[in-house]
Every structure is written in C-alpha cells, then in structure tokens.
Amino acid sequence: MNFKTILLYSGLFSGLGIFSFFLLVNYTGLPDRIAEALYSTGACLFFIAIFNVLGYFTLRVSSWLNIQYALNVKSRTKIIFIYALVMLAFLLLNYGLLVTAKLLIGTTHPFTFPNGGLRILIVVWLVELAILGVLLANRSMQATLRLQQQAADLQKENNTARYTALQNQLNPHFLFNSLNTLIAEIEYDPANAVHFTKNLSNVYRYVLQCQEKPLITLGEELEFMKAYLFLHKVRLGDCIHCDTDIPQDELDRLLPPLTLQLLIENVIKHNSITPGKPMSIRIGLEGDYLVVSNPIHPRKSTTSEGVGLRNLANRCKLLTGKEIGISEKYGVFTVKIPLSYE
C-alpha cells in the first residue's frame, strides 16, 4: 500500500474507532464514575490506536485470503472461519474496553451490562461489521479484477508466443529447393528465371509481412498461394494444378496467414506427383469454412506424423476459436478451415 492509501485507511479506522468509543461510553448503561473515567483523551487515543492495529491486521488477513481463495477454491471453509475470528475480535475489543474500565474502577459486576447495555454493544459491533464488510468486499473485488487482468495479460502473452512459434513453419528446405531450381532456370531458361525470382520474392515478402498479422484476408492468401504454387510448378513440372471457386464478395473473410502454404506443402510432401499422375487441388467454400481437398496419391516411403496439421489446428483455435475439420473419404483428403469476419 502507498502512503496515500495508508492515510485513507487510518482515517477510516480512526473514525470508526471514535464512533464506537463514544457510542459505547454513552449508551451502554455504564455508571457515571466509569463513564467519567473513560472520558479522557488517553482512553480515546488508546481505543483508536487499538482499532487501527486491528484494522491493519484485518486488511493483511484480507489480502492473504484473497490470494488463498484465488489459488485454492477448496479453502472456502477456512476463509469463512478466519473471517469469523476477525469479526469476533472486534466484538471482544468493544467488550474488553468496557470490562477493563469496570475492572480499573473496581465495580462488583464487571462482566455484565444492565439497562440494555449489551444490546447497544451488539448494535455497535454490527455497525462496525457492516462498514468493514463493505470495505473488505470492495478490496476483494479489486483484487479479483487485478487477478483477472493479470490472467488475461498472461494468456495474451502466451497466445502471442505460441502463435509466433507456430507461424514460423515455412519449411527451410523450400528455400534450398527454390535456389537450386533458380540456378537451373538461369542456365536453361533465363526469362523464366526472372519470373521465378519475382514470385520467390513475393512469397518471402508475404511471409515477412504476415509476422505482425494474426489474421489475413482470404484474397491476400489466395494471391500468395498462386506465387507459391508457381514455384513448385517450375520445380515439379506442369503436373500440379489448383481449381479455386471463391465468390468475389467472400475474399474479405479472414484466416491465419500461411494456411494455404502449409496445406499445399502437405499435399506435395505426402503424395506422388508426376506427369502421369498429376495432382489437382480444389479450393472452395462451405458456409463459414474454406474447404481444401485433393485426391490421395500416397508415396510409398512417406510416413505422416501430422505435425503440420496439428500446428494449423492450434493456430485456428487460438485465433478464431474454432476447430478445423479433417476427413479422408473415397480417396479424397479434405481439410476445412474456419473463416472469420473483421
């Protein structure tokens, strides 16, 4: 707590102590000589000091309980028990003030309060509890909001870190393969080498631009896919095609960047693609999902661990809150990617 907050709480507990002190002295039916003995600056300051000590202790207990409640919901019974002890301490403080005064004066019945004194003692105690209850409830609410904000900040940081790790999945072998293809094209087809270089530049420019974007428009992703697919066509030959059927008014839909890159790379990695066995990838829409499908031409020596699709599923879950759909039916492999709006 800062100094301003300490002064605020000290003023609150001092005011509550003064209120309780004068109410107890005047309305609990004390004999005149006891009331006169209590009507002193020293007695009042002593009561205020004890009230501040007990109040500060209550705040410390409240802070500790707020942490315990957040960390362990099963501790509710203990929390209620501890708060009950704190409430009892305020009752004993009020009662102790009056009993101590009677003992110092030497009355015959120091522990009893005739003429409705006990009722006044209970009323004062209930007023104290009401004020303290509002104070503690406000502190508890503020602590809960702080914890929720901290949890939200941590979750955001965690999501950002996880997304960054998931996003950096562009296969490094792709660059080496592309450079080897470019060298060959420079020697055998210089004009096509220029076109290849432009597309390679566009692919990596897109990758760099996407680093700061959690979501990208479907139109931008499709343009990137054309450049990325061209690079593979030059390397593999004209035996891989993509049929796209996306309405123009749907191109503003959003999806995680590099989604199509991962899916196309998956197709090339896990399927046998030759001029005699070409690959045709279909991309379309089904409701709020982008559907990417391809016939299955499995390679004999390739085993799939599904890491790329798991990463894609994690990205979609983190960024759109929806799951992807994966199916394999009638020799066709299909992936459905959830799309979102701005």
Q: What is the pLDDT of residue 144?
A: 76
Contacts 24+ apart (CB under 8 A), 267-274: 267/240, 267/294, 268/232, 268/236, 268/240, 269/302, 270/298, 270/299, 270/302, 270/304, 271/296, 271/297, 271/298, 271/299, 272/297, 272/298, 272/299, 272/300, 273/236, 273/239, 273/240, 273/297, 274/239
Tens of pLDDT, residues 234-254: 888 888 999 999 999 999 999
Please name every residue paired with 294 in a beta bridge, in sequence order, or none if there are none. Answer: 333
Q: pLDDT per residue over 122-169, tens digit each?
A: 887 888 788 888 887 787 788 778 777 877 766 665 566 555 555 555
pLDDT at residue 217 greater than cutoff 80 = yes
Structure confidence at residue 30 (pLDDT) = 66
**pLDDT-derived band at 279, boundaries 50, 70, 90:** very high
| Nearest alpha carbon to residue 21 among 30, 326, 210 | 30
Which residue has 């507990």 as its token pair?
13
Residue 204 is predicted with a pLDDT of 87
Confidence of residue 194 (pLDDT cuts 50, 70, 90): very high
pLDDT tens-digit readout, 288-327: 999 999 999 888 766 666 677 887 888 788 777 788 999 9
Whole-number mean pLDDT of the chain?
Answer: 80
Strands 240-244 and 279-286: parallel
Cα–Cα distance, 206 to 327 (Å, whole number) = 29
Is the pLDDT reported for residue 281 higher than 90? yes
CATH architecture of 168-338: 2-Layer Sandwich (3.30)
User: Structural domain boundaries of the chain?
Assistant: 3-166, 168-338
pLDDT at 219: 94
Closest CA to 25 of 136, 87, 100: 100
pLDDT at 325: 92
The H or E element containing residue 308 is helix 307-320
Task: State residue 246's pLDDT score.
Answer: 92
**pLDDT value of residue 251:** 92
Which pair of structure tokens corresponds to residue 35? Answer: 């009331």
Question: Which of 148-157, 181-190, 267-276, 294-303 is predicted with the least confidence, judged by mean pLDDT?
Answer: 148-157
How many whole angstroms separate alpha carbon 186 and alpha carbon 200? 14
Whole-angstrom distance, CA of residue 102 vs CA of residue 106: 6
Q: Which residue has the higher pLDDT, 314 or 114?
A: 314
Question: What is the number of other CB atoms lying within 10 angstroms of the CB of residue 292?
Answer: 23
Residues whose CB is less than 8 angstroms from the CB of residue 312 and which lie 6 or more positions away in sequence, other chains included: 256, 259, 262, 263, 324, 335, 337
Range picked from 13-22, 40-49, 319-328 for highest mean pLDDT: 319-328
pLDDT at 94 over 80: no
Question: Which single residue is written with the structure tokens 């197709």?
Answer: 267
Beta bridge partners of 325: 336
Q: What is the pLDDT of residue 187?
A: 86
Contact in structure between 45 and 22 (CB atoms under 8 Å) = no
Flag whether pLDDT at 71 surpasses 60: no
